[in-house]
Structure 1
Amino acid sequence: MTQNPLAEPGAVESNGDNGERLHASPLRVAIVHYWLVGMRGGEKVLEALCDIYPDADIYTHVVDRERISDKLKRHTIHTTFINRLPRARRWYQRYLPLMPLALEQLDLRAYDLVISSESGPAKGVITRPDALHICYCHSPMRYLWDMYPEYLASTGRFTRLMMRPLMHYLRLWDYASAARVDTFVANSSYIARRIRKCYRRRSAVVFPPVAIDDFKPGGEKQDYYLLLGQLVPYKKADLAVDAFNRLGKRLVVIGDGAQYEQLKASAAANIDILGWQPFSEIQRHYQQARALIFPGIEDFGIVPLEAMASGTPVIAYAEGGALDTVIDGKTGKLFYAQTVDALCDAVTEFESAPPLATQTLVAWAQKFSQVHFTENFLQVVDDAFVEIEQG
């Protein structure tokens, strides 16, 4: 896929001829989020939506109020009947087959605008005929679609026997429920393609907001590379460790997860596996590293943008969200095969190329701020209302 380095990321063309909101009268807004049991990427987007619609009501299957932010707690939070089932805050994923029924029991007739925030079941709500339903899709449910074989293989024999008919039913429902959405919004071009593949629907792309102001350049660059994230197989930290074992260059790895001990055992003396680190240390390493190594496939991925905001370029595998965030030769270096050879070659080519301008990195990262998210999302809402009015 080719990139346009001059394009405004996530920009949405307007159907109107001025910047005024086309829905000037107050809207009753509901935001439907799959579950609220922590504060990860999906919940950060939910917070951004709540900033846009401060009076919105939130609907979810399960809420653990001790593990969500004060910003979300300030909203009225309604739950489905899943929240009343035994140990729902821990076992919520076991109740997945009941979630279609639970969503369809929600009474959303009072709302003019319904926003479903989905990577778990959320978009299957039933709205008023004249209401607008926008789905902000972090990802079609992977355990139903592209990663179904892996999930199935990771379970025991009895569970597999139960899962096959249940997943078949949920897949049919998931596809059918896409017809209830007026407008899909994807968090990256990669997810837009997956929405098209799974649901046969087109979508606007509005990138998630990144807390760019928490990061800035500073200090002298040191002669090491940085890898940051969960140490789990799909992040491909093992690929980076193997590559730097061969290169003999210093690599600092920050993060924890199932592969921590394995990586610690396989890392040569030039590789530091630091595990979890406080935010201040993450900021420092972002500033001092020569480049960030990003070898996995992410739906979007905010880590590269945090690095760029800190004045650090990115060496990334050319797939997934990295194709939206890393501009080859301007904000980093892309490599096109998920292999040790390809990553080693990319590091070598990066070192032989002219240094990338810090101001270019920071300016690009700023285009993924909360302000840009708000402008682009509101434009999608305006355009969707115009489409409804025009029939």
Structure 2
Amino acid sequence: MRERLQGDPDQMRVALVHHWFVSLGGGERVAEAMAAMYPEADIFTLVAAPEMVPESLRSHTMHTSFLNRLPFARNIYRHLLPLYPMAVEQLDLTGYDLVLTSDSGPMKGVILSPSALHVCYCHAPMRYIWDQYHEYRSHMGRFARASFGYTAHYVRGWDHLAAQRVTQFAANSHYVASRIRQYYGRSSTVIYPPIDTASSYLAETQSDAYLTVGRLVSYKRIDLLIQACNKLSRRLRIIGTGPEEARLRSMAGKTIEFLGNVDNETLWNEYANCRAFLFAANEDFGMALVEAQACGRPVIALGKGGALESVVSLDHAANRGQSTGMFFGEQTPMDVQSAILRFEMEEHRFNPHVIRQKAQRFGADVFRRSLGDLIDGALHVSNAERELQLCL
């Protein structure tokens, strides 16, 4: 099906490029789905902690950047921003015909052979140098703020130029596509990330506990969920780990439970048995939102960003009978509290079978088919352009 750029299709060399493997999240699941499409692909990344490389990827040949050799690289990788451009450009992808980048960082800047096709699946332009730059800066001390400002200015210019090296962009949501257009001046095809709907199921009964899943980092705003559930004395179960964990534990009341990282079976069991899924981040897409819906569970989410594309809100009368969740307007504990109370008054209106059915449009099979079609189309155009050049 996929033509080689030149010659025998069976000899097409494919590389998969992912920003880093230091935790397990949505980006890593996308990388797994890409690798399943190309089982012989080599993998390139900046930093990799062996235990954080998904099991399905460990049979692939993996190449890391010089950053991986730095002491404690897997713990300090976010502070190595000034070195990202050099580290990316030193990854040697000579001889690869097709390069797929799974990128929410600088990986779009890899240097390829002139004849190579580069398809970038963009989870988001780097938040900390683009749309959330001022927010990140506001939490820094005076010296760090000045240093970060200079570094971000340099990397921002490089990142824009690096985006021009991409043959074809795919975005994980319309929300991200708009930022790709704004910051890079590039169009993109929206392909929603792959949700393992085959592992999801409807539970016969639910607990009285709410659930949230994600990396414990500041922009996820799990602190708001904790404060709201503390105030209302509602049970909240939290899956995930991250640098914010100690702070979040310190503010958690007796109804808050931290489960850490869990295995896949436990994760889906938590989704299926929760009362509802809580989400307070302004997220690019939010795979966990859809995973909860795939188990028939309603979502209470911030009404911004990618959530607007995956949640059918009960707040609009036209959606009654087809709703999968409800929104709150601002990132405040009071807004979360009000949304939980509104949900509990309207809980009977949600149909688990409808919610589960709505989630099927985000299945992994849809992702593979859509990405495959995009790659096929890009290969066809590339071959046609090459043939035209030979004729001139």
Normalised-by-shorter TM-score class = 0.7 to 0.9
Match of 1:115 in 2: 100
1:229/1:61 CA distance change after superposition, 3 Å: closer
1:53/1:345 CA distance change after superposition, 3 Å: same
Match of 1:181 in 2: 166
Q: Confirm whether residue 334 of structure 1 aligns to residue 327 of structure 2.
A: yes
Match of 2:177 in 1: 192
Structure 2 CA distance, aligned partners of 1:76 and 1:229?
28
Match of 1:358 in 2: 352
1:285/1:51 CA distance change after superposition, 3 Å: closer
Using the TM superposition, give the Cα deviation of residue 334 of structure 1 relative to its aligned residue in structure 2, in angstroms: 2.5
Match of 2:234 in 1: 250
Question: Which residue, 364, 377, 380 being the options, matches 2:374?
Answer: 380
CA-based RMSD of the aligned residues comes to 2.7
| Aligned partners of 1:231 and 1:258 also within 8 Å | no
| Aligned partners of 1:263 and 1:273 also within 8 Å | no
Match of 2:320 in 1: none
How many residues align? The count is 366
Letter of the structure 2 residue corresponding to residue 275 of structure 1 = F
Q: Confirm whether residue 160 of structure 1 aligns to residue 153 of structure 2.
A: no
Determine helix, strand or coil for the equivalent of 1:210: coil
Using the TM superposition, give the Cα deviation of residue 195 of structure 1 relative to its aligned residue in structure 2, in angstroms: 1.4
Letter of the structure 2 residue corresponding to residue 141 of structure 1 = M
Deviating more after overlay: 191-200 vs 49-58 = 191-200
Structure 1 runs not aligned, ≥5 long = 1-19
Question: Which residue, 247, 256, 259 being the options, matches 1:273?
Answer: 256
Letter of the structure 2 residue corresponding to residue 250 of structure 1 = R
Q: Confirm whether residue 260 of structure 1 aligns to residue 253 of structure 2.
A: no
Deviating more after overlay: 34-43 vs 125-134 = 34-43
Q: Confirm whether residue 311 of structure 1 aligns to residue 296 of structure 2.
A: yes
Match of 1:78 in 2: 63
Structure with larger RCO (C-alpha < 8 A, sep 6+):
1
* Residue-by-residue CA offset, 1:79-117 (whole Å, 9 max, x unaligned): 233334444444434443233223323332311111122
- The share of aligned pairs that are identical, in percent, is 41
Determine helix, strand or coil for the equivalent of 1:196: helix
Structure 2 CA distance, aligned partners of 1:192 and 1:209?
17
Using the TM superposition, give the Cα deviation of residue 227 of structure 1 relative to its aligned residue in structure 2, in angstroms: 3.7
Structure 1 CA distance, aligned partners of 2:78 and 2:274?
39
Using the TM superposition, give the Cα deviation of residue 46 of structure 1 relative to its aligned residue in structure 2, in angstroms: 1.0
* Residue-by-residue CA offset, 1:257-295 (whole Å, 9 max, x unaligned): 24423432xx4xxx7101116556654443333322222
Letter of the structure 1 residue corresponding to residue 25 of structure 2 = R
Letter of the structure 1 residue corresponding to residue 42 of structure 2 = D
Letter of the structure 1 residue corresponding to residue 236 of structure 2 = V
* Residue-by-residue CA offset, 1:190-231 (whole Å, 9 max, x unaligned): 211221221121111112212223321112234554344455
Structure 2 CA distance, aligned partners of 1:225 and 1:84?
41
Letter of the structure 2 residue corresponding to residue 117 of structure 1 = S
Match of 2:198 in 1: 213
Structure 2 CA distance, aligned partners of 1:340 and 1:164?
31
1:374/1:342 CA distance change after superposition, 3 Å: same
Determine helix, strand or coil for the equivalent of 2:350: coil
* Residue-by-residue CA offset, 1:347-385 (whole Å, 9 max, x unaligned): 454433752222221122222222111111111112222
Match of 2:319 in 1: none
Structure 1 CA distance, aligned partners of 2:331 and 2:135?
19
Letter of the structure 2 residue corresponding to residue 374 of structure 1 = R
Determine helix, strand or coil for the equivalent of 1:99: helix
Structure 2 runs not aligned, ≥5 long = 315-322, 386-392
Match of 1:297 in 2: 282
Structure 1 CA distance, aligned partners of 2:208 and 2:91?
56
Structure 1 CA distance, aligned partners of 2:277 and 2:91?
44
Using the TM superposition, give the Cα deviation of residue 342 of structure 1 relative to its aligned residue in structure 2, in angstroms: 4.4
* Residue-by-residue CA offset, 1:139-161 (whole Å, 9 max, x unaligned): 11122112223333444443334
Structure 2 CA distance, aligned partners of 1:369 and 1:283?
15
Using the TM superposition, give the Cα deviation of residue 22 of structure 1 relative to its aligned residue in structure 2, in angstroms: 5.6
With the length of structure 1 as denominator, give the TM-score of the two structures: 0.83
Deviating more after overlay: 172-181 vs 20-29 = 20-29
Match of 1:3 in 2: none
Q: Confirm whether residue 25 of structure 1 aligns to residue 9 of structure 2.
A: yes
1:155/1:134 CA distance change after superposition, 3 Å: same
Determine helix, strand or coil for the equivalent of 1:328: coil
With the length of structure 2 as denominator, give the TM-score of the two structures: 0.83
Determine helix, strand or coil for the equivalent of 2:108: coil
Structure 1 CA distance, aligned partners of 2:306 and 2:339?
18
Match of 1:10 in 2: none
| Aligned partners of 1:185 and 1:204 also within 8 Å | yes
Structure 1 CA distance, aligned partners of 2:82 and 2:283?
27
Question: Which residue, 105, 109, 119 being the options, matches 1:134?
Answer: 119
Q: Confirm whether residue 51 of structure 1 aligns to residue 51 of structure 2.
A: no
1:296/1:55 CA distance change after superposition, 3 Å: same
Determine helix, strand or coil for the equivalent of 1:100: helix
Structure 2 CA distance, aligned partners of 1:238 and 1:39?
21
1:90/1:286 CA distance change after superposition, 3 Å: closer
Determine helix, strand or coil for the equivalent of 1:61: strand
